[in-house]
Amino acid sequence: MDGTEITTIAEVLAASGPYGFLAILSIAYWKLSQKKDRQMRELFDRVLELSETQTAAITKVEAALVALKEAIADLRRG
């Protein structure tokens, strides 16, 4: 930012008073909230993906254990 931009911002704030300052703070908060919400959605999507992968792996392990149990039972029968 150069000096003229800062001067312009100062003039706008002086003309609008505390409400202009409040509006600027509100816009800044809104922008930060949007960024945080986007990051939370990305994190949620990643956790969901990991959960689905883990569920698939657990299902495969359970199937392998059942097959092993049946193979052991077949060996015992003879």
pLDDT band at 1 (very low <50, low <70, confident <90, very high): low
pLDDT in tens, 26-35: 888 998 899 8
Residue environment code for 41-52, b if the CB has 16+ CB neighbours within 10 A, otherwise e:
eeeeeeeeeeee
- pLDDT tens across 36-68, in order? 999 999 999 999 999 999 999 999 999 999 999
User: φ and ψ at 17, to 5 degrees?
Assistant: 70, -155
Eight-state DSSP code of residue 1: -
Q: Which domain holds residue 58?
A: 3-77
Tell me if residue 17 falls in helix, strand or coil. coil
pTM of the model: 0.55
State how many domains the chain has.
1
pLDDT at 2: 66
Residue 22 confidence (pLDDT) above 70: yes
- Say if residue 5's pLDDT is above 90: no
